[in-house]
Amino acid sequence: MLLSYREALNQAMREEMRRDSRIFLIGEEVGYYQGAFKVTKGFVEEFGPQRVVDTPITEAGFTGLAIGAAMAGLHPIVELMTMNFGIVALDQIVNNAAKIRYMSGGQLSVPLVIRGPGSAAHQLGAQHSQSLEAWFCHVPGLKVIAPATPHDAKGLLKSAIRDHNPVIFIEAQLLYGTKGEVGDGEYTIPLGQADVKREGTDVTIVAYSKMLLVALEAAEQLSHEGLDVEVIDPRTLKPLDLQTIVTSVRKTGRLVIVEEGWRFCGLGAQIAESIYSAAFDYLDAPIARVTGEDVPIPYSRPLEDAAIPDVPRVVAAVKSMCGAA
Amino acid sequence: MTVMDRADLLSLYRQMLLIRRFEEKSAEMYALAKIAGFLHLYIGEEAIAVGAIAALRPDDYVISAYRDHGHCLARGSDPGRVMAELFGKATGLCQGKGGSMHLVDLPKRFMGGYAIVGGHIPLAAGLAFASKYQKQDLVTVCFFGEGAVPSGQAHEAFNLAALWKLPVIFICENNRYGMGTPVQRAVALYENVAEAARSYGIAAERVDGMDVLAVRDLMRKVVDQVRAGQGPYFIEAMTYRFMGHSMADPSHGHYRSKEEVEEYRKRDPLVVLKETMLSQAQCSESDFKELEREVGEVVMAAVKFADESPFPDPASLHADVMVED
């Protein structure tokens, strides 16, 4: 069935909320407004305001409240209007959600999903355009997911909701309207499993969230120049499915990592380190990274474009690595 | 004057005495380097934990900040397992992973001590949200110091609790100092910090936090109201910490005088209750001697248990970071 990414998320939450009354949705504008990006369209009508809870603009407060509710046995889904606002709730996410199980010696758990769009959209300015996944991945106790396709979004969100841990689920504003085939009926996708989105033999590209679309387009262009690119979407950023990437690198001998986040201490640095440790002998060239520039994301269109990886930059990185530049 | 229930008062006194002697012993063990890290003693404030928790049911939730030994013991946790946690032993409440500031005893519904000032107050709102959501007639009691009242997270939690009429009782232990900063230099409305809650429409009352009977009387009334669904309540319990903020500072110093500490010690909650018991409950010095003897044995047994318990196996380092499926 052809669905938008937005509709896939809506279906995932709707199916799960029908299945389990402990699940509730909480966040700014999730109810009567139908979601800032209309992801929760129809929810308050179906589930009522007790389970679709509109909040004041207090991310620390309602994220903390959701964590407390999870400690008491509920399964909250927190919608952050954008992941940028997660910074306001970072104390709750890092100091409470991620640590409560460990600090309590396993007595407490926090089954919780915190979801919302990350990364840049169209000229939203520096405070609304950030890719913060590396921050969340750095913290022990959190799982982090960043799906790129409607099919993955639905299956992974359902798994995230069923997980017993705090899960950060990063969407993208520019993905909400994208469409794709979604499996019929009930299905889940296990967390921690990468997916080979395009098979190839010459070079491996690892890319996630909307950078997957950039990578796939680059791979298509490169195919016309005789380069056979394999594209892997980790989908779950933590725990990372290293094995799938290693298997690919053993075949291709070359790895390019594409991420929208800032370069310094970015997720790609960690992936590169892991691959150097696990598959150094199979590499024919140093790992290349195509990343966001280390600047606050600027407003002006040409500046914003310059700050974010695009198809030409990915193509150039692959060609350079293959000696075809 | 009416004769009061002797056994009842002996029980309250015993609980306060247990906390007092436990804390004194903890200070001793800190000096002997059996306990490390931060250690915040509850000496002087015992009447609040004991009086408040005496008004609760075993299934009500209790959550606290970092000065949490008193609340945990008043909730009925095993002193041996609390001391073992302070010693960092495998038999501690949290298997040595929490420490003094992060005690948790789930079977006692003691939902934890939290060490980011103000950060646990939204959790309390969440526990209360969960019981309301599940239509359980539970109350949540949240302890914090007056130093947490100006924090943003406290205000966000007050607003949410009032907005959604959550069954939570906020108990502000106003010991007049946030570390070394007196309340009049930290809280704008320092003469009435409960205004912070009243401004959100939360009913609030001040109580003599040195008088365990006054605390319990007020709490019995408040618990009934809150359990009946009348929304949150804020209690400002006036108290004083007889010791330094932590083991790192003496009871008096640059920020407060020896004379001031001695003046407040005249209102020692143990002395206040003892006077009542001698004059109105037919208690005698021999009763107190017997309590001292029995509590002394309990505390010594707790130290012995902690001391003889094994440290955690380093192999347990990674256990309980995540809930494993």
Which DSSP string do the residues of B273-324 spell out, in sequence order?
HHHHHHHHS---HHHHHHHHHHHHHHHHHHHHHHHHSPPPPGGGTTTTSS--
Share of chain A above pLDDT 70, in %: 99
Angle at A287 between CA A284 and CA A292, to 5 degrees: 155
Catalytic residue set of A: 59, 128
B320 found inside a domain:
no
Residue A33 belongs to domain with CATH number: 3.40.50.970
Residue A223 belongs to domain with CATH number: 3.40.50.920
A32: how many CB neighbours lie within 10 A of its CB? 11
Q: Give the pLDDT score at A148.
A: 98
Residues A116 and A35 in one domain: yes
End-to-end CA distance of chain B: 62
Q: Residue B111 has which token pair?
A: 């939902």
Q: Which residue has the tokens 């109580």?
A: B207
Residues A204 and A306 in one domain: yes
CB B105 within 8 A of CB B75: yes
- Domain span at residue B274 reads 6-305
B138 to chain A: closest CA residue:
A72
A281: how many CB neighbours lie within 10 A of its CB? 7
In this prediction, residues A35-48 reach a mean pLDDT of 97
Residues A163 and A281 in one domain: no
Q: Give the pLDDT score at B38.
A: 95
Statement: residue A163 has pLDDT above 60: yes
Amino acid occupying residue A206:
V
Q: How far B221 CA sits from the closest chain A CA (Å)?
A: 25
Residues A172 and A204 in one domain: no
In this prediction, residues B166-173 reach a mean pLDDT of 98
Residues A163 and A207 in one domain: no
* Mutation for B interface: A65, A78, A113, A163, most B CBs within 10 A: A65
Cα separation of A279 and B22, whole Å?
A: 55
Confidence of residue A325 (pLDDT cuts 50, 70, 90): low
Mean pLDDT over each residue of chain A, to the nearest integer: 97
Residues A264 and A293 in one domain: yes
Tell me, what DSSP letter sits at residue A296?
Answer: P
Dump the DSSP string for B82-100.
HHHHHTT-TTSTTTTSS-G
Which is nearest to A81 in space by CA: A36, A126, A146, A136?
A36
Q: Residue B103 has which token pair?
A: 């005690």
Which is nearest to A182 in space by CA: A210, A217, A158, A218?
A158
Report CB contact under 8 Å: B126, A72: yes
Tell me, what DSSP letter sits at residue A20?
Answer: -
Taking CB atoms and an 8 Å cutoff, what residues of chain A touch B134? 72-74
B114 found inside a domain:
yes
Confidence of residue B2 (pLDDT cuts 50, 70, 90): low
Q: Among A181, A204, A234, where does a domain finish?
A: A181
A72 to chain B: closest CA residue:
B127
B284: how many CB neighbours lie within 10 A of its CB? 10
Residues A31 and A59 in one domain: yes
Q: Give the pLDDT score at A1.
A: 93
B177 found inside a domain:
yes
Dump the DSSP string for B156-212.
HHHHHHHHTT--EEEEEEE-SEETTEEGGGT-TTGGGTTHHHHTTT-EEEEEETT-H
Report CB contact under 8 Å: B112, A103: yes
Cα separation of B154 and A51, whole Å?
A: 24
Shortest CB distance from B322 goes to which of A64, A73, A165? A165
Residues A165 and A42 in one domain: yes
B76 found inside a domain:
yes
Which is nearest to B239 in space by CA: B56, B43, B77, B32?
B43
Q: Give the pLDDT score at B3.
A: 64
Number of domains in chain A: 2
A 157-186 near B (Cβ less than 8 A): 163-165
Statement: residue A287 has pLDDT above 50: yes
Taking CB atoms and an 8 Å cutoff, what residues of chain B touch A91? 116, 119, 153
For chain B, say whether A96 makes contact (Cβ under 8 Å).
yes
Statement: residue B1 has pLDDT above 70: no
Report CB contact under 8 Å: A65, B321: no
In this prediction, residues B104-115 reach a mean pLDDT of 98
Which is nearest to A90 in space by CA: B116, B161, B103, B178?
B116
Ramachandran angles phi, psi of A204, nearest 5°: -105, 130
Report ipTM (2 d.p.): 0.97
- A212-223: buried (b, 16+ CB within 10 Å) or exposed (e) per residue? bbbbbebbebbe
Ramachandran angles phi, psi of B94, nearest 5°: -110, 25
Number of domains in chain B: 1
Report CB contact under 8 Å: A69, B323: no
List of residues 6+ apart from A15 with CB closer than 8 A: A158, A186
Cα separation of B213 and A123, whole Å?
A: 62
Residues A262 and A168 in one domain: no
CB A210 within 8 A of CB A307: no
* Mutation for B interface: A57, A58, A103, A168, most B CBs within 10 A: A103
Q: Give the pLDDT score at B281.
A: 85
Confidence of residue B216 (pLDDT cuts 50, 70, 90): very high
Report CB contact under 8 Å: B93, A58: no
B318 found inside a domain:
no
Mean pLDDT over each residue of chain B, to the nearest integer: 96
Statement: residue A21 has pLDDT above 60: yes
CA distances from B118 to A58, A266, B113, B153, B239 (A): 14, 31, 11, 6, 19
Report CB contact under 8 Å: B322, A65: no
Residues A17 and A160 in one domain: yes
Residues A257 and A279 in one domain: yes
B248 found inside a domain:
yes
B311 found inside a domain:
no
- Domain span at residue A242 reads 195-321
In this prediction, residues B65-76 reach a mean pLDDT of 98
Residue B13 belongs to domain with CATH number: 3.40.50.970
Which of the two residues, B282 and A220, has the higher pLDDT score? A220
Report CB contact under 8 Å: B322, A95: no
Model confidence over B240-293: pLDDT tens digits?
Answer: 999 999 988 888 888 999 999 999 999 999 999 999 999 998 999 999 999 999
Tell me, what DSSP letter sits at residue B148?
Answer: G
Helix (H, G, I), strand (E, B) or coil at B170: strand
Cα separation of B139 and B160, whole Å?
A: 16
A293 found inside a domain:
yes
Residues A156 and A199 in one domain: no
Q: Which residue has the tokens 């954008």?
A: A82
